[in-house]
Amino acid sequence: MEKKRCDFGFWVKGSRFLNKSLLYHDTRWCKPEHRDNELFAMLVLEGMQAGVSWDLILDKEENFRKAFDGFDPKIVAAYGENKVEELMRNEGIIRNRNKINAAVTNARAFLKVQEEFGSFDKFIWGFTDGKTIDHRLKDAKEMPARDGLSERVSNELKKRGFKYAGPTIIYSYLQGIGIINDHLLCCDFR
């Protein structure tokens, strides 16, 4: 019997990226993530997604991982202008100077948060006392693009120097790392 999935989003529109989209939906989206490097990776990927489709980001994800040294924040934080120029020539990623520079800025801010809290995981999950917020959605129309939590997290990240961290990007980020679960109640991948 075929499993039921959320009936919204990029994984049901028949895109040419369908296999990657389905895998993301089924195994990563709204699933709790606690590894700092993956929390950083998702922050960069969500920022890169601004203005383009998530399908495109998923299609280029492996290229991003290689280009950005496995999303190791210590390495990315040390990037200089030569590395930024190298990334601008990399056809396998989104070549947007502002987004690339934001990834470097965010790596530096990420390291400061790690130093202050012991881990980024402790900081980001601290907004919900380590608990996933399950909106128990019955219909896709119930899902907001942002909410009070994403606004609080966004404000705190911006105060700490993070870029591409507006409340809509952060809402998507919180879904991507499992702090928010917006799988529909009918979805077998909740």
Residues 124 and 38: beta-carbon distance below 8 Å? no
Q: State the CB neighbour count (10 A cutoff) for residue 101.
A: 16
Name which residue leads in pLDDT, 2 or 77. 77
Extract the tokens encoding 8: 């919204």
Q: Which CATH number fits domain 10-181: 3.40.50.300, 3.90.226.10, 1.10.340.30, 3.30.1360.30?
A: 1.10.340.30
Residues 64 and 103: beta-carbon distance below 8 Å? no
Q: Is 85 a catalytic residue?
A: no
The single residue of 24, 79, 125, 171 carrying the catalytic annotation is 24
* Residue-range domain boundaries for the chain: 10-181
Q: Residue 20: pLDDT band by 50, 70, 90 thresholds?
A: confident
Q: What is the pLDDT of residue 179?
A: 98
pTM of this prediction?
Answer: 0.94
The single residue of 29, 54, 79, 173 carrying the catalytic annotation is 54
Residues 94-151: tens digit of each pLDDT: 999 999 999 999 999 999 999 999 999 999 999 999 999 999 999 988 999 999 999 9
The mean per-residue pLDDT over the stretch 70-83 comes to: 98
Residues 149-174: tens digit of each pLDDT: 999 999 999 999 999 999 999 999 99
Q: What is the pLDDT of residue 46?
A: 98
Residues 180 and 132: beta-carbon distance below 8 Å? yes
Q: Which amino acid is at 123?
A: F
Q: Is 54 a catalytic residue?
A: yes
Check whether 35 has a pLDDT greater than 90. yes
* Ordered alpha helix ranges (H), 35-118: 36-49, 54-67, 73-77, 81-88, 97-117
- Rounded Cα gap, residues 75 and 110, in angstroms: 12
Q: Is 29 a catalytic residue?
A: no
